[in-house]
Each structure stands twice: as C-alpha cells, then as structure tokens.
Structure 1
Amino acid sequence: MAGSENQKFCLQEVLDSFQLCLSPNKEVYLEHYIAGWRGLVKFLNSLGSVFGFISKDAVSKIQILVNFLNSENGSQYATVQSMVKFELDNKLVDVDKKGICPESGCRTLLRLHRALRWLELFLERLRTSKEDDKTSVMCREAYNESLAQHHPWVVRKAAGMAFFALPGRPTFFEVMNVGPPEQVVAILGKAVPLISEVYLITEELYLKHNLLDLP
C-alpha cells in the first residue's frame, strides 16, 4: 500500500512518541500512545499489504480512542490509568462478559496492547538479527509468542501465510528511514525498551483490575 502517508514513515517518530508516553509518575498518556501507534501503522503499511489484517484493525481502534479523547469526557481519558478508573467507576466496561460496551476504551486499548507486544518482540528480533536472518521467521516467532493466542485459527493461518511474503532484513531497515543499518539498530535500541516499559505498565494495570481477557 504505497502512498505519501506511508513513505513518510520514520522510526524516529515512533521513538519520539514513546519517549513522551510516560508521565513522571509512570502514567501512560493516551495521546502519545496513539501517536506512537500511528507511526507503527505507517511502518506496517510501508511493508505492503502483508500486515493489513493488523493495521486495519489498529486504525479502527485508534479512531475509537481519538473519539473518546475528543468527547465531553475527554479529560478522563488523558492517561490509560485515568481511563481505566473512569470506565470502571461508571460501569462502562464489560467486566462480567455480558456483551455490553463492546467499544469501551479499556477493551479497545487492550487490542492495541496485545498487538504492541507482538511488535515489541519483532522489533527486538530485528535489532539483534544478523544480515541473513529471515524476517519471516522472526515475525512468526514474535506472533506465536503474543498475538496468536488471541486470534482464531483462520486468522493465525492467514498470518502464517502473510509472514512468508515478508521482504528481507535490508528492506525493513530501509523502511525505517533513519540511515544505515547501524543507525537503525541504535534507534531500535532506544525505542524497544520504551515500548516494553509502556507495555508492562499497561499489562500490570490491566492485570490488577482483571481486564486482560475482556471479550
């Protein structure tokens, strides 16, 4: 899926967004989380339609969260922590799995959260990979350790096929748009730990409030 929007992707913007993601007391700013995800979607799209099944879903989830941020309750969605508190206090989350509030902020973010783990694992494998390592293997391993467990068999099958079509490591590094391979590795070395920290803070928050398996 080529286009001016996708060509502008630069790994630096993902790093910048995730650097701004955490408040001094380690709350996750939703606005910067969304900005980080917008960058990751550009990254996925710049590799062609292979990741369409992830990026299309991410785009729709981003839009739902943006709508919450722009709503009259927008201030309650400033951080992931404030969102969780607000939605739980006001019974806006399907904690009892009754099929209510299918687009709550908590459920919506959970879908992005799961996909973020996959990207974190994949980007870390890219960072530590050697020149002739296969991106399809790295991507499949990362997927199997994260998102696969939340996907039905049909999606897992389609994902497996898609990973075979992935371009080689040099193409991935080129798409990052930050210079030679060693520069890509250096920026990934800063970005991946930040993504990991944001992921872990969110994971612990969701675990504490029993939100990790919202339907």
Structure 2
Amino acid sequence: MADGDDGNGLRNVLVTFKSCLADNQEILMDPYLKGWKGLVRFLNTMGTIFSFISKDAVAKIQIMETFRSGDQKESYATLQSMVQYELSNSLVDLKQPGSYPTSGCRTILRLHRALHWLQLFLEALQTSEADAQTSVLCTDSYNASLANHHAWIIRKAATMAFYALPTRDAFLANMRVGTNEEAIAMLEEALPHIRKVYEVTESLYAQHNLLELP
C-alpha cells in the first residue's frame, strides 16, 4: 500500500476480489460482499455522482448479509451453493410474472451487473490516453452494461451525472495509491481478478438461465 492510502483507495478493494475465488473456482460470498463494501466506500468519495449505484449496492449487500446470518447461512457460503439451494427449493421465481420474492440469486444479479459496469469503466480508465474524458469513458461503459437494465429516466439521469466526473488525473489521484502511474499499474494488476469473478458469475447464471431475472 502506498504512503497516504487511508483505506478508501482501490488497491485493497480490488485485490479483495482475488480472495473471492476458491481453488475450485467457486465464488466465496463473504469476500465478494467485502469487496463490494470497499467499492461503495470508493464510489462515495466521488460525491453524489455515483449515489444511484452505491445506494442500491448497499441495500443489496444488506440483503445478502441477512441471508449469510440466517438459518440457512451455509447455503449462502458461495454463489454456487446459493444458486443450487434456491433453485432446489423453488425460491427463485422463474415462471410467475408479477411475483418477485427476494432471493439471493436476484440480489446478486443486480450487483453482478453493476460490477460489470465498474470493471469496464476502470479498464477504460487504465488503457485510455492522459487527455481522455472520464465522462465519455464512464458513459460508454454504462451503455455497454447497466444501461440495458435501467428505465429511460434512470439512464438519462446517470448520463447527465457522468458529465460532473473529475478529470482522468483527478480520478486516478482519488484512488490514493500514489502517483497516477502507480494507480494505472495497480489497475493492471488487480482488474483481472474482478474480470474473473464477473466471468465465473456470468457463466454460472447463464448455465441456470438466471441472467434475465426480473
């Protein structure tokens, strides 16, 4: 950790996602939620720009923590065990439109979609030129991920909010991992872990036809 990192920077947050993956490629729930808590802290340092994401993420994290402390907590130890448990016990409403009970599968899907957006945005930030506009990078990443699942009014508000993003240099500095060059190096090192978690989750959900849960 670079000098001056106060714990709200992204280094430990992103690397936390590395610990999500067990040797058998199962995704451990507790590190996953811990990583998301760190992402929320980082998003909150950017002011209200990302509040529409961070507030929703906090609510979803709380739901999953309730599952993890409940009578069936062991069934929610990994994403794979959660999917198996909820499908086996008909806890995921796949066939009855208009009736959507709270489930871990649906809750994680919302976090999964948001994680994809953040992954794409940070990857774009890592590979972009110094004079790149963060508002454009963020909007393009949003349009390639979360926007597909948001109503028009939310998409419009999000796109407008992105125009208030700071410059690329300011954004990198806000990661609090040292120089901008060190921030770029950190992203290059850590982002593959998030990408892998996303890919494993995407494959799991696709296997069980869960990617379009309402």
Q: TM-score range by the shorter chain?
A: over 0.9
Structure 2 Cα separation of the partners of residues 24 and 108 of structure 1: 25
User: How far, CA to CA, are the matches of 2:183 and 2:201 in structure 1?
Assistant: 26
- In structure 2, the gaps of 5 or more residues are 1-5
Post-superposition offset of 1:118: 0.3
Aligned ranges 1:73-112 → 2 under 5 Å = 73-112=72-111
> How far off is 1:101 after superposition?
4.6
Given that 1:15 and 1:190 are in contact with CA atoms closer than 8 Å, whether structure 2 keeps it comes out as no
1:69-108 residue CA offsets vs partner (Å, 9 max, x unmatched) = 1111111101000000000001111111434453200000
Q: 2:210 is matched by which residue type in structure 1?
A: L
> Displacement, 1:172?
1.1
1:3 matched residue in structure 2: none
**Taking every aligned residue pair, what percent have the same amino acid on both sides?**
54
Aligned counterparts, 1:77-156, within 5 A: 77-156=76-155
Cα distance in structure 2, aligned partners of 1:63 and 1:92 = 18
Kindly indicate whether residue 174 of structure 2 is the aligned counterpart of residue 175 of structure 1: yes
- 1:151 is displaced (CA, Å) by 0.2
How do residues 1-215 of structure 1 correspond to structure 2 at under 5 angstroms?
A: 8-215=7-214
Q: Provide, for residues 7-65 of structure 1, a one-character-per-residue CA deviation record: whole Å limited to 9, x for no partner.
A: 64121221231110100010000111111111111111111101111110000000000
Partners of 1:139 and 1:213 in 2: CA distance: 24
Gaps of 5+ in 1: 1-6
Partners of 1:154 and 1:181 lie apart in 2 by: 35
Q: Is this contact kept in 1: 2:20–2:27, CA < 8 A?
A: yes
- TM-score, length of structure 2 as denominator length: 0.95
TM-score by length of 1: 0.94
User: What is the root-mean-square deviation of aligned Cα atoms in Å?
Assistant: 1.1
